[in-house]
């Protein structure tokens, strides 16, 4: 009966950050700088990994794929966000919203699994260094990356198919700057019980599982490092996984703040700030963290700069 008496919405509207034109211009310039930094940083990481043979290792193979995911993730959100800042009507078509949901679910889960895979790689490198090259073979690395994207694809297809089955007859205003599955469920006139169950299953299977892999890996890593007698050896082991641990902390920290928040009005007012951080800022931070904290990346960059100066 709902579908028979319902006029399905053809577009969704986003709420604005602020009505002040001056602040809108400032935010536009800020997000433009963040987006350009994200593109340059992640493309630079990919270029360095391909250019320097010393970076042709499992760790940097995973890092290159993480940079690719961050490029896609940022390109999906930031340009649309900047366009909405300078336009009065902040709308997105129903089809465009479905595309955003699909790609967000795809790259979000892919990044979770990639970060867990990188934690496992650091565990094998530090805890079982003698058999590292045997365990982390090129074939296994490719399989792990393909598995990460496959998990993201399964999540994206499942979540998007569930969204397309919903009916939207009432309000079409999303109190956010992009289409996320949870706000869409709150706008639907259909029964969303199955959709919420799917979200719960996805969170447990992909989110909690990947966090457990990261935590268990670093517990063993820390235990191994503390048993190293040499101070130099401890410092080298810490520096090896410090960059990845910082990236994991930033990504999972902001995601947990979003999904474990309370439903108070004060908490809902902070959603946009937290969402900006994990969708716009985090893809920019990853290449900065790895380039500033990683000696091998800095050495590779120095080689490229010296070669350019020589020519």
Whether residue 243 contacts residue 290, with contact meaning beta carbons closer than 8 Å, is answered with yes
Decide if 5 is inside a domain.
Answer: no
Decide if 301 is inside a domain.
Answer: yes
Decide if 1 is inside a domain.
Answer: no
Decide if 6 is inside a domain.
Answer: no
The total number of structural domains that make up the chain:
1
Each residue of 67-93: pLDDT tens digit?
Answer: 999 999 899 999 999 998 888 888 899
Decide if 3 is inside a domain.
Answer: no
Structural domain including 37 reads 11-310
Each residue of 89-128: pLDDT tens digit?
Answer: 888 999 999 999 999 999 989 999 999 999 899 899 888 8
Chain center to CA of 215: 18
Q: Which of 246-250, 269-273, 274-278 has the lowest mean pLDDT?
A: 269-273
Question: Which whole-number Å values give the CA distances from 235 to 118, 244, 281, 311, in the listed order?
Answer: 20, 15, 29, 37
Decide if 48 is inside a domain.
Answer: yes
Distance CA 35, CA 33 (A): 5
CATH of the domain at 251: 1.20.1070.10
Each residue of 173-231: pLDDT tens digit?
Answer: 888 888 888 888 888 888 888 888 988 888 888 888 888 898 898 888 888 888 877 77
């Amino acid at each position: 009966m709902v579908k028979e008496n319902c006029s399905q919405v053809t577009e969704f509207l986003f709420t604005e950050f602020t009505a002040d034109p001056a602040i809108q211009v400032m935010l536009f310039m800020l997000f433009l700088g963040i987006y350009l930094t994200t593109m340059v940083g992640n493309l630079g990481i990919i270029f360095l990994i391909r250019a320097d043979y010393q970076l042709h290792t499992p760790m940097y193979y995973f890092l290159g794929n993480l940079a690719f995911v961050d490029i896609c993730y940022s390109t999906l959100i930031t340009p649309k966000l900047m366009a909405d800042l300078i336009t009065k009507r902040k709308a997105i078509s129903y089809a465009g919203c479905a595309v955003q949901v699909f790609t967000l679910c795809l790259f979000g889960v892919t990044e979770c699994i990639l970060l867990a895979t990188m934690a496992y790689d650091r565990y094998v490198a530090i805890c079982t260094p003698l058999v590292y090259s045997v365990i982390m073979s090129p074939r296994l690395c490719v399989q792990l990356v393909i598995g990460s994207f496959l998990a993201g694809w399964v999540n994206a297809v499942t979540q998007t198919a569930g969204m397309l089955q919903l009916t939207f007859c009432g309000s079409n205003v999303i109190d956010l700057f992009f289409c996320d599955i949870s706000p869409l469920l709150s706008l639907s006139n259909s029964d969303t019980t199955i959709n919420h169950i799917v979200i719960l299953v996805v969170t447990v299977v992909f989110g909690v599982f990947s966090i457990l892999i990261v935590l268990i890996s670093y517990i063993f890593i820390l235990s191994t490092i503390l048993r190293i007698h040499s101070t130099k050896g401890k410092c080298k082991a810490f520096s090896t996984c410090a960059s990845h641990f910082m990236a994991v902390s930033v990504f999972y920290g902001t995601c947990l703040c979003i999904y474990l928040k309370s439903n108070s009005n004060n908490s809902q007012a902070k959603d946009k700030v937290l969402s900006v951080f994990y969708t716009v800022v985090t893809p920019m931070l990853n290449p900065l963290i790895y380039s500033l904290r990683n000696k091998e990346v800095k050495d590779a960059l120095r080689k490229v700069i010296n070669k350019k100066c020589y020519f």
